Chains A and B, each alone.
Chain A
Amino acid sequence: MKKDVATGTASDALTPILARWSPVGRSGLLPALIEAQEAYGWLSEETLTRIANGLGVPLSEAFGVADFYAHLYTHPVGKKFVRVCDDVPCYLAGSEKICAAVEKHLRIRAGETTPDGAFTYEIVPCLGHCDHAPVVMVGSQVHENVTEDHVTDLVGK
Chain B
Amino acid sequence: METKLVTANLGVVNPESIDDYIARGGYRALEKVTGEMSSPQLIDMLKAAGLIGRGGAAFPTALKRELAVKAEVTQPWPAPANVPAPYRRSSAFVICNADESETGTFKDRLLMEGDPFRILEGMAITAFVTCATNGFIYLRGEYPLAYERLSRAIDAARQRGFLGERILRDDFDFDIEIRRGAGAYICGEETALFESIEGKRGEPRAKPPFPTDAGLFQRPTVINNVETFANIPFIALEGADAYRQYGTAKSPGTRVVCVSGQVRKPGAYEIAMGMPLRQVIDDLAGGLREGRALQAVLIGGAAGVFLRPDEIDVPLDFQSLSAIGATFGSGAIMVMDDTADLRGVLKRIARFFKDESCGKCFPCQLGTQRQYEIVTRTVGAFHETPLHELGATMRDASLCGLGQTASSAILSAIDKGLV
CB distance from B259 to the nearest CB of A (A): 7
Q: Name the residue of chain B whose CB is nearest to the CB of A29.
A: B199
A26-B198, A64-B201, A128-B106 known; A70+B258 contact, CB < 8 A: no
Pair A126/B103 contact, Cβ less than 8 Å? yes
The reply on B179 being an interface residue by CB < 8 A is yes
The reply on B86 being an interface residue by CB < 8 A is yes
Q: Name the residue of chain B whose CB is nearest to the CB of A139.
A: B144
Q: How far is B106's CA from A89's CA once the two chains are assembled, in angstroms?
A: 12
A30-B182, A130-B266 known; A24+B84 contact, CB < 8 A: yes
A69-B202, A92-B345 known; A34+B180 contact, CB < 8 A: yes
Pick the most buried of A30, A33, A70, A72: most chain B CB atoms within 10 A of its CB: A30
- Chain A, interface size category, equals 35 or more
Pick the most buried of B196, B349, B358: most chain A CB atoms within 10 A of its CB: B196
CB distance from A20 to the nearest CB of B (A): 11
Pair B202/A130 contact, Cβ less than 8 Å? no
Pair B183/A24 contact, Cβ less than 8 Å? no
Pair A126/B199 contact, Cβ less than 8 Å? no
Pair A89/B182 contact, Cβ less than 8 Å? no
Q: Name the residue of chain A whose CB is nearest to the CB of B187.
A: A69
Q: Which of A22-40 contact B (CB under 8 A)?
A: 23-31, 33-34
A69-B202, A130-B260, A130-B266 known; A88+B103 contact, CB < 8 A: yes
Q: Which of B237-266 contact A (CB under 8 A)?
A: 258-262, 266
Which residues in A have their C-beta under 8 angstroms from that of B181? 30, 69
CB distance from A109 to the nearest CB of B (A): 16
Which residues in B have their C-beta under 8 angstroms from that of A29? 199
Q: How far is B172's CA from A128's CA once the two chains are assembled, in angstroms?
A: 36
The reply on B364 being an interface residue by CB < 8 A is no
The reply on B49 being an interface residue by CB < 8 A is no
Pair A70/B184 contact, Cβ less than 8 Å? yes
The reply on B207 being an interface residue by CB < 8 A is no
Pair B202/A89 contact, Cβ less than 8 Å? no
The reply on A151 being an interface residue by CB < 8 A is no
CB distance from A84 to the nearest CB of B (A): 13
Q: How far is B142's CA from A137's CA once the two chains are assembled, in angstroms?
A: 9
Pair B201/A27 contact, Cβ less than 8 Å? no
Q: Name the residue of chain B whose CB is nearest to the CB of A86.
A: B348
Supply 10 further A-B pairs (C-beta < 8 A) apart from A29-B199, A130-B105.
A30-B196, A68-B201, A88-B103, A88-B261, A88-B302, A88-B349, A92-B336, A92-B340, A126-B104, A131-B267
- Which 7 pairs, one residue from A and one from B, show the smallest C-beta to C-beta distance? A70-B183, A71-B183, A29-B199, A130-B260, A69-B182, A26-B199, A89-B260
Question: 26 A-B Cβ contacts within 8 A?
Answer: A24-B86, A24-B87, A26-B84, A26-B199, A30-B179, A34-B180, A55-B199, A64-B201, A65-B199, A69-B183, A71-B141, A72-B183, A88-B298, A88-B334, A88-B345, A89-B103, A89-B104, A92-B260, A92-B262, A128-B105, A128-B106, A128-B108, A128-B109, A128-B142, A131-B266, A137-B142
